[in-house]
Structure 1
Amino acid sequence: MPNRSKRYVVKGWPLALTTLTVLTLTACNSSEEPAAAPSPPTHSHPAPKSPSPSPSASAADGDDVAACTDGNCEITVTKPVTIRLEGPDGSPTTLSVTELGPNKIEYEVKSGNGRSKGGASGKGQGCLTVLRANGSGNSCGPLRGTRPAAQRDAVVIQATTSVDGTATLHVVSP
């Protein structure tokens, strides 16, 4: 028996093959990236930067730490700071505010070989430190509205808390 298979010739097949080839090459060689699927929402938020607190009361010397170098100033501090000043006998002295918060302050004073630490917490609380050539003393408690008085041969430091997280420092020398 003779092979009688039928051949079907599709007219236009070269055009169909060319079109299919062009579409395939276009899809494979496209320079555009496929659109990425949107990422799922996250619920973590970056921690907001907390600005330095604004003082509720203005001090005579503002926040100018340099105003204290002569041993007489009234400044507002909004963050931990170290202040260099002249001690009662002319020795270099440092006043370091180590912690601040709403109604809270902690500080340390170093003069010569002596050290004194003070700290207070609570509304209107504060500390009074008196530095003398032969020693120092601290007293902490309610101080709102008071001003330190100059004392002979001494440097007096008063630190008062504030509800807004700032503190007022008064330094008085004779």
Structure 2
Amino acid sequence: MPAVPVAADGSDYAACADGTCEVLVSGPAEIALSGTAGISKLVVRAVEGNGIRFEAGGSSGSLSANCISTFYENGGGSSCSTAPREAPAPVDGIVAMQIASVQDGTAVLRVVSGKPGPPPASLVPNIPTFEIPKPPFGY
């Protein structure tokens, strides 16, 4: 019989209130987060196959084992690997989520948050600015 997944914080979702935790999820759950990147609540809708379906920060999606989803002000992204991955390092302005493992309908969810604030400059969208010309004749 396969071993039951183990998470550092067990099923204690309150451990996620500071924005960083590793918890077991086996069904729908609402998890309070620190508010970094505008995400104060993560809603897990279901554990399915090798991952979860979730809602966070006004968006919804799915997260599979060996993938990391990141959320930051005005954006986000994800990356996947064919091999197990280490926990993501905290980065200011970013919330990262990872499924460390899934077994028999139970997922080990890692959430890692940096300090609140803007994300690194490389993630801030480059929005062109322009000066509005003044109308002629003092209008």
The TM-score, its normalising length taken from structure 2, stands at 0.67
Contact persistence 1:126–1:143 (CA under 8 A): yes
Structure 2 residue aligned with 1:129: 69
Where 1:100 maps in the other structure, the secondary structure is strand
Structure 2 residue aligned with 1:106: 52
Matched, 1:56 2:15: no
Structure 1 residue aligned with 2:90: 150
RMSD: 2.4
Structure 1 residue aligned with 2:118: none
- Report the CA distance shift for 1:55/1:66 in structure 2 as closer, same or farther (over 3 A): farther
Q: Post-superposition, which runs of at least 4 consecutive aligned residues in structure 1 deviate over 6 A?
A: none
Shift of 1:85: 1.1
Where 2:18 maps in the other structure, the secondary structure is coil
Structure 1 residue aligned with 2:106: 166
- Report the CA distance shift for 1:109/1:93 in structure 2 as closer, same or farther (over 3 A): farther
Give, in whole Å, the separation in 2 of the partners of 1:141 and 1:80. 26
Give, in whole Å, the separation in 1 of the partners of 2:40 and 2:15. 14
- Report the CA distance shift for 1:173/1:119 in structure 2 as closer, same or farther (over 3 A): closer
- Report the CA distance shift for 1:143/1:130 in structure 2 as closer, same or farther (over 3 A): farther
Give, in whole Å, the separation in 2 of the partners of 1:109 and 1:143. 25
Q: Report Cα offsets for 1:12-65 as digits up to 9, x if no partner.
A: xxxxxxxxxxxxxxxxxxxxxxxxxxxxxxxxxxxxxxxxxx972321111101
Q: Which has the higher contact order (CA 8 A, sep 6+)?
A: 2
Q: Count the aligned residue pairs.
A: 113
Contact persistence 1:127–1:138 (CA under 8 A): yes
Amino acid of the structure 2 residue aligned with 1:60: A
Shift of 1:71: 0.2
Identity %, equivalent residues: 35
Please tell me whether Structure 1 or Structure 2 has the larger radius of gyration of its CA atoms: 1
Give, in whole Å, the separation in 2 of the partners of 1:58 and 1:117. 24
Contact persistence 2:45–2:55 (CA under 8 A): no
The TM-score, its normalising length taken from structure 1, stands at 0.55
Gaps of 5+ in 2: 115-139
Structure 2 residue aligned with 1:118: 62
Shift of 1:143: 5.4
